[in-house]
Amino acid sequence: MTRVLGPGEFYYKEAFGPETVCRGAVLLECEWDGGVVEAGALMGVVFRSGEFRGGTFWGGVFLGGTWAGGVWESGFDHTGRYRPRTDHP
Amino acid sequence: MPRVIVASPHRYPDLARLWHRAVARDLLPALERAGHSVEVVVFRDAHADEFDPAHFPGAVLEAPGPGVRDFLEFYDAALALDADFLFLLDADLFFLDPDWAASWLPSFDDPDVSAVSLLRRSDEPGVYALLCRTAHYRELPQPVFAPAYEDLEDERNTVNRQPGDVAARRLRELGRKILYAGPEEAEERIADFHGTTVIRASREVFGHLMDGRGFEQLVSRKRYFAMGAYDNALLGSLHQAVFGEPFAPGPDGEPLGGSVPAEAVRRELGLIEDARMKEVLSAYFDRSDRAILRLAAREGIDLALPPMRPESWR
């Protein structure tokens, strides 16, 4: 069953699996593993797998998964290299 | 005459104006008295068109572009400028004793000294107030100042290297020296504030995705946000007193609407139950209060601090 994280919702240090879709929530220092991000903001998030289609990625680590669209504010790729604004994986 | 470039990235023009006022009045003349020519470079990491050049007399205003996409790439771009020394300064750092800062320049008479860190927040020098010999830093692989994660494949040993950390390690491996000001010495001579830009950028980037109260609750949940919100209210009081204009205004121009208003800081701090967190924050706020009062004194202002400590904390 799909879990939708919507606007107005805030999550701190939580983990989300492949059944999750983010449609406007704010995630701070969470782990993302397999779901889809359509909108919202991920700050300091470890993105292990899944698809990033929209929203803002800021200051996290993009270990795996697919970057399809959205705003890359800053972050690190799977090698640990810093990628500045717009330089998404 | 040796040339120093003072370089600082700023996202918000009001804080940049306060910072530049102090640098131009105090630090720049101190470095010149020490026999150096000095140029100030302000990097406008966002809101570039809101920085009024009239508020930054004598400074070079830079903005993002190809190869300099954000403030972290700016550090490397500044290293490439024509200078013998690069003085990186945080946006919310002010010298109370600028001659003390300049007094470190003769340390570079030792040809093995690569940098002096005047303020460190960890074992590494950081880039909060880092005076660098450009020739040594330019010998390092690029990007020189970038942060990095190391050993990501081994979670238990993963290390997050902050800006400047990797460069410092590489310099030490080459037999170079990095000098450090003592923490007590720095405390007396520097007014520094923490997280003031992060909380404003957070409000800007994702505050609209939360209701106002939801964003303000971050103050009671995350120590770094509490520090940033508190310090912004202090800086806001000083900014209002110096320039007669609101600081960190919200969409309707209300003071601190782009951070967290002082009364909301007080309310959210009152919700913190963790005794250890209250203790740590109290000590931090004491330090911030002293810093802003000393900074105000340099302006000749008898500043009234906004009441943000809950009664229950007294």
Q: How far is A1 from chain B (nearest CA, A)?
A: 25
Judgement on whether residues B18 and B98 belong to the same structural domain of the protein: yes
Judgement on whether residues B220 and B244 belong to the same structural domain of the protein: yes
Contact B70 A84 (CB under 8 A): yes
**pLDDT-based confidence at residue B17 (cuts at 50, 70, 90):** very high
What whole-number distance in Å separates Cα of residue B125 and Cα of residue B218?
A: 29
Judgement on whether residues B292 and B143 belong to the same structural domain of the protein: no
User: CATH number of the domain that B137 lies in?
Assistant: 3.90.550.10
Residue B122 has a pLDDT of: 87
Residue B50 has a pLDDT of: 98
How does pLDDT run across B272-304, given as a tens digit for each residue?
999 999 999 999 999 999 999 999 999 999 999
Mean pLDDT of B118-136: 95
Judgement on whether residues B116 and B213 belong to the same structural domain of the protein: no
Nearest to residue B99, comparing CAs of B35, B160, B153? B35
Q: Which among B140, B159, B190 is the end of a domain?
A: B190
Mean pLDDT of B104-133: 96
Contact B70 A85 (CB under 8 A): yes
Which of B 210-249 lie inside 8 A of A, CB atoms? Answer: 210-211, 214, 221-222
CB A37 within 8 A of CB A50: yes
Judgement on whether residues B164 and B204 belong to the same structural domain of the protein: no
Q: Identify each DSSP E strand in B118-220 by its residue range.
A: 129-133, 148-150, 159-161, 177-180, 190-192
Judgement on whether residues B182 and B220 belong to the same structural domain of the protein: no
Does residue B28 surpass a pLDDT of 90? Answer: yes
Best B150, B165, B209 member to test A by mutation, with max A CBs in 10 Å, is: B209
The mean predicted confidence, pLDDT, of chain B is 96
Does residue B212 surpass a pLDDT of 90? Answer: no
**pLDDT-based confidence at residue B121 (cuts at 50, 70, 90):** confident
* Spatial CB neighbours of B157, under 8 Å, sequence gap ≥ 6: B151
Q: What is the pTM of this model?
A: 0.96
Best B152, B165, B200, B217 member to test A by mutation, with max A CBs in 10 Å, is: B152
Does residue B170 surpass a pLDDT of 90? Answer: yes
Put simply, whether A41 touches B (Cβ < 8 Å) is yes
Q: Which among B155, B190, B225 is the end of a domain?
A: B190
Give the position of tokens 């630090």: B27
ipTM reported for the complex, 2 dp: 0.95
Q: Identify each DSSP E strand in chain A by its residue range.
A: 3-5, 10-12, 15-16, 20-28, 31-43, 46-52, 56-62, 66-67, 71-76, 82-83
Judgement on whether residues B171 and B233 belong to the same structural domain of the protein: no
Does residue B101 surpass a pLDDT of 90? Answer: yes
Dihedral sign from CA coordinates of B9, B109, B38, B238: positive
DSSP annotation of B26 reads I
- Structural domain range at position B45: 3-190
CB B88 within 8 A of CB B74: no
Does residue B238 surpass a pLDDT of 90? Answer: yes
Judgement on whether residues B29 and B148 belong to the same structural domain of the protein: yes
**pLDDT-based confidence at residue B242 (cuts at 50, 70, 90):** very high
What whole-number distance in Å separates Cα of residue B56 and Cα of residue B243?
A: 14
**pLDDT-based confidence at residue B155 (cuts at 50, 70, 90):** confident
Q: Which among B190, B208, B229 is the end of a domain?
A: B190
Judgement on whether residues B104 and B201 belong to the same structural domain of the protein: no
What whole-number distance in Å separates Cα of residue B80 and Cα of residue B260?
A: 38
Judgement on whether residues B34 and B110 belong to the same structural domain of the protein: yes
Residue B211 has a pLDDT of: 84
Judgement on whether residues B43 and B165 belong to the same structural domain of the protein: yes
Judgement on whether residues B169 and B237 belong to the same structural domain of the protein: no
Give the position of tokens 């209300």: B254
Q: How many domains does chain B have?
A: 2
How does pLDDT run across B182-209, given as a tens digit for each residue?
999 999 999 999 999 999 999 999 999 9
